[in-house]
Amino acid sequence: MFQSPEYSNTLSLKLSEVLEDVGINEEIVMKRRRAFMLLENMQTVVKRSQDDNLTAYCFGSQSEGTTTIGLNSDFDILCLDHDYNVIQDWSEWKQNKINLLMIQDENVTPGYCFLQVLRSDEPLFETNIICEDFIRDNKGRILLKNTFLTGIEPGTERHGPANARPENDEYKAVDIVHAFPCNSWQQSASHLQERHSKGGWPTSEMIRYVVSNGCFVVGVSSKISTYRELEWRISTSLGERCFMFNLNLTQIHCYVLMKIILKSFPTAQRESVLSSFMYKTVVLHCIQNTDRTIWRILFSCLTYCLLELQSYIQNENCPHFIIPENNLMAGEFTAEEKLDILRNISDIIQSDGRCLLRIGIDDIGYRLQVKLHTDYEISHVLNVPSIINEYLSSWLFISIATNISSNTTTLLHFISNGRIINIKQCFLNLVNYSFHGNKLEKLASRYLLPFLYSTLGSMMVSSDIQQNTAVQYNALQWLSLGLNSDVTSGRLKLASVLYCLGFLGDVEFILKQTENRYNCDIVRPLCCCCTYSSVSDYWSSELDRKCYELNEDSINQITSFCVRFLQKEVNCVPRELQYEMKRSTQDDVQHSSVEEKQWMNFAVVDSLPFLCFLQYKTYGHLHRYQDQQRALCNLVISSVSGKSLGHRETALNLVGQCMEQENKSKESLQCFMLSLQVRRRNNAANFHICNLIRKYASRM
């Protein structure tokens, strides 16, 4: 099997170069990890600010930096509910928590457990079946069913223990798993601290970190279990992430290459017979069982890992890296599938690397041929490494910005429906994180707070207008704190407030300043309110380049979010936009998605059309007709043909009302009809059309 050292070294060098070219380089790997650590901290901060005792984690290839564009890996999010306390010893019992005793006996598959329900008022066994999720076993124990955490969430499908959100044109698939924490280290994994390692890996520091972080329990049973509704899987995902974060680049290349090869040459008729988690486990075992010097020559490492995988399949036993008694291959494939898998892997190993030249994913095969043959012509269709690195940097930035937008919507929905005391506590929690949280919690909070500052200031001004009192100075201070939420939305909210107060000179100044800041080549308009959003048609090489140059703390310099007004801000919203707050009939609401219901009572508009609309209204009041018509022209262009509009129907409704004010009823009706083509239900255009018909009828 093994070729000459010169062949192996040359192939390894070129393979490494190819993988670095397609984004598996130290810079992009670290950017991925920082981005997803920020995302999980942002999710946690939002949950905790609403007094949900949850912690979010981003696991899997995307967060590890062990994927490529062509592998198209999904997102894995784990939500840990700290209201529950899984214990292995009675000393860990906590009052006023939902305590669950982990049971591992002869009836439980290794790596899994039963959860016996305990009382929350005193450390005793629960003896009553309180709900349908409890069951009494033949020993009289009250056990919790694993279906307790696996209810189908709206817009998702069941995939094992996960709620899976399918991929669409813009967003990758997301697997959301709910879990319970167990703060003590898994007893069946205690030998990890004593395990011998040839290469000194994992180090004692890694093991101490892994042990100190405990484990999770997830609601899914083993495929070979006879207690399918009672078994819970013991998850050591935090420990596994620690190990993956401590791999060197050659080891990462080996793991990624295994995934690419085995995806390129399917090893069985049925998908997912071998999982990427199995490949990861194989690599971790190989690293532990070999001298560290082997992990310098990629092709030799790859061969060794494939041989190890072949051995595991032959024996039908892939031991979990942390809990080796847990056989990851138990019940995963039939005898026929096993033969098919072994035959394919044998062909891959015996090809002496020639199979690599046939890999289509990320153009690996073609890129390798170019590297190995200097006279091989480089195709113009191949993206050069700098373009790939810039694209991936931009994609990571937009992923963070998307989460800022969606989490802001969640917080505004909470503020809109919550009691005053809850709203104040939400603010205080976020402010506390911004000063006293860890580095990423501080950054996450500081991204979210400006939107809430603007909303708070606008709500205060709206209340003052309602009561016909002088505007509070504090309100303007809050609005000022929200100016740098992004390139546009904070400034446009202030401009809207000042417009409603009649300070037209100040409005003109802010709008001009905002227009000058909006560089179409590097600013990304973004809205995540609903499924109608059309953001997949936006691309800019300048934006990609800018994202590559910037750090994660500069996202507000290149994003333009939609502008959102709550019902409590109604007096700070131009009359034409207020109709959007009453867009829905009772029947319409029933046809809204869960995400849409979060903002349906808001007035929400994309920044660029709103900028043009405010200019049109302001110049009209200032009697500057030419400037007003220029603004109207820009409003039409941005609303009809503008890219990445999340609320195109709202923009068209604004155009229609402007046309109506220009006494162009025909054009106005056309705009409202176009708006209905974008969104049939939950659209204020229905009202505007009826109003037009009423006006036309009154003239007859």
Residue 275 CA, chain-centre distance (Å), reads 22
State pLDDT tens for residues 120-157: 899 999 999 988 999 999 999 999 999 987 654 545 55
Q: Please, what is the end-to-end C-alpha distance for the chain in angstroms?
A: 91
**What would the two tokens of residue 533 be?**
């959003």
Residue 152 confidence (pLDDT): 46
Q: How confident is the model at residue 603 (pLDDT cuts 50, 70, 90)?
A: very high
Mean pLDDT of 407-427: 83
Cβ atoms of residues 284 and 328 within 8 Å: no
User: Which CA distances in Å does 649 have to 64, 454, 638?
Assistant: 39, 24, 12
Distance CA 442, CA 557 (A): 18
Mean of pLDDT values over 478-483: 96
> Which residue, chain included where needed, has tokens 């501080």?
442
Surface-to-core class of residue 503, CB atoms within 10 Å of its CB (0-12 exposed, 13-18 middle, 19+ buried): middle
Beta strands 75-81; 54-59: pairing state: antiparallel
Mean pLDDT for 224-246 is 95
Instruction: Tell the residue number behind the tokens 């800019």, with chain if given.
Output: 540
Mean of pLDDT values over 319-348: 92
Asked if residue 361 lies in contact with residue 263, where contact means CB atoms within 8 angstroms, the answer is: yes
Handedness of CA 265, 268, 272, 274 (dihedral sign): negative
Mean pLDDT along residues 112-127: 94
**What is the mean pLDDT of the segment spanning 226-249?**
95
* pLDDT tens figures, 449-464: 999 999 999 999 999 9
- Does residue 568 have a pLDDT over 90? yes
Least confident span in 182-186, 503-507, 556-560:
182-186
314-325 b/e with 16+ CB inside 10 Å = b?
eeeebbbbbbbe
Task: Look at residue 605 and tell me whether its pLDDT is greater than 90.
Answer: yes
Least confident of 84-93, 335-344, 377-386, 507-516: 377-386
- CB proximity list for 350: less than 8 A, separation 6 or greater: 1
Is 71 within 8 Å of 93 (Cβ atoms)?
no
Q: Is the pLDDT of residue 241 over 90?
A: yes
Model pLDDT, residue 379: 61
Q: HSE-up of 452 (CA within 13 Å, CB side)?
A: 27
Tell me the mean pLDDT in the region 257-267: 86
pLDDT band at 170 (very low <50, low <70, confident <90, very high): very low
Under 8 Å between Cβ of 159 and 134? no
Write out the H or E segment, with its range, that includes residue 234: strand 232-235
pLDDT surpasses 50 at 381:
yes
Angle between helices 607-621 and 625-640 (to 10 degrees): 160
What is the rounded distance in angstroms from the CA atom of residue 263 to the CA atom of residue 449? 43
Kindly state the DSSP code that residue 556 receives in the 8-state scheme: G
Q: Which residues contact 523 (CB under 8 A, 6 or more apart)?
A: 487, 488, 517, 543, 558, 559, 560
Burial 270-283 (b: 16+ CB within 10 A, else e): eeebbebbbbbbbb
pLDDT of residue 184: 87
Contact at 8 Å (CB) between 392 and 69?
A: yes
What is the rounded distance in angstroms from the CA atom of residue 394 to the CA atom of residue 396?
5
Average pLDDT, integer, range 188-216: 82
Could you tell me the CA-to-CA distances from 272 to 59, 66, 75 in Å, in that order?
A: 18, 18, 17
SS3 label, residue 427: helix
Across 45-64, b (16+ Cβ under 10 Å) vs e yields bbbbbbeeebbbbbbbbbbb
Distance between CA atoms of 400 and 550, rounded to whole angstroms? Answer: 13
Rounded CA separation 247/225 (Å): 34
Q: At what angle do helices 385-417 and 26-49 cross, to 10 degrees?
A: 0
Tokens of 268: 């069985």
DSSP secondary structure letter of residue 118: B
Mean per-residue pLDDT, 349-356: 92
Q: Answer with the residue of higher pLDDT: 539 or 139.
A: 139
State the pLDDT confidence band at 300, using cuts at 50, 70 and 90.
Answer: very high
Cβ-Cβ contacts under 8 Å for 311 (sequence gap 6 or more) = none
DSSP state of 255: H
Nearest to 332 by CA among 222, 255, 219, 231: 222
Q: Is the peptide bond before 202 cis (omega within 30 degrees of 0)?
A: yes
Closest CA to 534 of 639, 405, 644, 683: 644
pLDDT given for residue 349 in this prediction: 93
Mean pLDDT of the 53-76 span: 94
Task: State the pLDDT at residue 531.
Answer: 45
Kindly report which listed range (110-114, 364-368, 418-422, 519-523) carries the lowest average pLDDT score: 418-422
Count other C-beta atoms under 10 Å from residue 249's C-beta: 16
Q: CA-to-CA distance for 120 and 128, rounded, in angstroms?
A: 13
> Tell me: the pLDDT tens digits for 658-678?
999 999 999 999 999 999 999
- Say what the alpha-carbon torsion angle 48, 51, 54, 57 is, to the nearest 10 degrees: -20
**DSSP H or E stretch at residue 182:** strand 174-182
Whole-angstrom distance, CA of residue 559 vs CA of residue 566: 22
* DSSP assignments along 365-420, one per residue: HHHHHHHH-TTSPPPTTSPPHHHHHHHHHHHHHHHHHHHHHHHHHHHHHHHHHS-H
Q: Do β-strands 84-87 and 98-103 pair in parallel, antiparallel, or remain unpaired?
A: parallel
The residue assigned the tokens 């220029």 is 630
CA distance 650 to 565: 13
How many other CB atoms sit within 10 Å of the CB of residue 427? 17
Please count the CA atoms within 13 angstroms of the CA of 682 that sit on its side-chain side.
20
**In a 3-state reduction of DSSP, which class is residue 339?**
helix
286-to-197, 241, 291 alpha-carbon distances in Å: 10, 17, 9
Which residues does 247 contact at the CB level (< 8 Å), separation at least 6? Answer: 255, 287
| CATH 1.10.486.10 given to domain 1-22+247-382 | no
* pLDDT at residue 284 in the model: 96
E strand or H helix at 8 = helix 5-21
Residues forming CATH 1.10.1410.40 domain(s) in the chain: 1-22+247-382
Q: How confident is the model at residue 621 (pLDDT cuts 50, 70, 90)?
A: very high
pLDDT, position 377: 63
Tokens representing 283 are: 């690599």
What whole-number percentage of the chain has pLDDT above 90? 70
Which has more confidence, 586 or 488?
488
The pLDDT mean for the chain works out to 89
Q: pLDDT grade, residue 643 (50/70/90)?
A: confident
Number of residues in the chain = 700
**Using CA atoms, how far apart are residues 353 and 350, in angstroms rounded to an integer?**
8
- Encoding tokens for residue 100? 């669950």
* Mean pLDDT for the stretch of residues 188-195: 70
Q: 440, 19, 69, 55: which is closest to 237 by C-alpha?
A: 55
pLDDT above 80 (res 77):
yes
E strand spans, 88-148: 98-103, 112-117, 134-136, 142-144
In one letter, which amino acid is 119?
R
> Does residue 198 surpass a pLDDT of 80?
no
